[in-house]
Amino acid sequence: LDERRVWPYPSVMLTGKQIRAALAGIGWSRADLSKASGVSPRTIQRMCEADGVPSANAENLALVEKALIGEGVAFPEGGVQF
């Protein structure tokens, strides 16, 4: 059993813009997000550079969402809130 597995999959479909804004808002680098989420640095880079919803698998999106929410970030209706 993979302890990183997140169920259910993401409650929101984060966009690259939301991920970048969240990182800026909490003062994290992409490397910080990679470490906190367990998602590879290259995948984090692709997610951040995406136009719209990244073409990453749902589990990786859920892990990123969980890491950011754990730092107090919320994603109301396509936005970002701290």
Q: What is the DSSP string of 1-28?
A: --TT--SS--SS---HHHHHHHHHHHT-
The pLDDT value recorded for residue 76 is: 86
The pLDDT value recorded for residue 2 is: 47
Query: Tens digits of per-residue pLDDT, 24-81?
Result: 999 999 999 999 999 999 999 999 999 998 988 888 999 999 999 999 999 988 889 9
Res 4 pLDDT > 70: no
The pLDDT value recorded for residue 72 is: 95
Give the residue among 4, 17, 10 at the shortest CA–CA distance from 65: 10
pLDDT band at 1, cuts 50/70/90? Answer: very low
